[in-house]
Structure 1
């Protein structure tokens, strides 16, 4: 059998974060006619074209970018593909995206630092309400396995298009909590990140209001009848309204509102004491967050 000949792909690196916070994205595709990249960075929507070099490597340099975590995907001759040189993936309910990090002081709060770390586990349970296996991610604080301590619990809900892995990948909730605990700015807690995307059928295109209402009702039932009882049975948590909180991003904000209005004596909206006020914030990226204040 003839030996495989080396190619530029063997030593190719992508993405490359440069010292001035620009990022170079590359892919080896010698037979391609067009390659583009799209993502949540400035200029990444709808897409940017890569230029082909003499050795079949397509590349583009974007930025400089503000320190943050970004997602992107490549399209080669009309076919959406992942960056084969980047193993860091963000999983959604309908797609996969690559992730890249531009480090700086602004991202220090979510960096993987040399501090005691908690654990994030993928937990599967059988949902009797939906008659199917379901998954959630659960964060336990440092030292959980070696103690008998009971902890407060925080239910953290993701936004639309994501699944239960979102908060521990692109959201980096576990590293944020590790750093806050190490700095004495938070109390140890268990964080439950359930899957808020529900299995419903809808017409193609934008989800109609009836389907959205159905999905929100289904999630409230799933959280109250399946997720919370499972957590109470399998984890050492403190019960009572003062020891249980809930918050969410975008779609998760709506779900937070649904659940807390239905069962205000069981869960405390994040930041609430007795009577919550609701306020809308428009984020720079266009997402709307629902935040509760006392």
Structure 2
């Protein structure tokens, strides 16, 4: 065999091996594709099965949610019935001022509730967050007033006796406090609405001094309240200063407790550690509530004359 024959022989053998290799590759590719398709189909079947199970679970949970909603709605109706039944014990003739010291939580729902059930609200006084910086303001802005003590004292006097000093007018004008006056006259009850986040625990800066002024007013009914979710338990502080308290006025039980305290009951109610019970165990009778209110108003008229004379004596 000459050189040319060997050359063609080698080329032929190489071509055969190349063809075999290509065939093997093509065959492997076809088999691999079938394998991948089979695996993919199996995964699709698993996913489809899981989706069916998830849909069943989702339908079950939606059904449970609907049942819970119905239970909540029924509980709400029961609570409203209990509140209405309680309110039939007698008309609440107290005149109330609400002083909101909390800079983190709103008491609009509570205010709406009290107005809806017919409790007379004379004034709503909101202490603004800017009030905390009042001591840093230019002294010329407030003249010779001692801040914040004079401001806090005048706020307490205004909240009870409706005596609006020049300092109160300045505080309103400069938006250190916000006032919503719904009616005139003396308030026999003050609801001090506090509670704040941990970052804004301002009890010692505002509430403590305010309570000290309130307790000096003879026979004034002062009630400390907060929301159940307040991070700082102001009601514990209020209780330590001798106030009646409710630490969950955002809940039905707390609102009943508040109404009962307005009627003249005593105690510390709610769900936190300072509370002695969730609601009062005994309700004040109609006649006892009337007598307690008459005594408060008689004492407050005497106090009013004292504070009015003091305000007139200021040059």
> Scaled by the length of structure 1, what TM-score is found?
0.31
> Scaled by the length of structure 2, what TM-score is found?
0.29
Greater RCO, 1 or 2 (C-alpha within 8 Å, sep 6+): 2
Whichever structure has more strand as a proportion of its residues is 1
Whichever structure has more helix as a proportion of its residues is 2
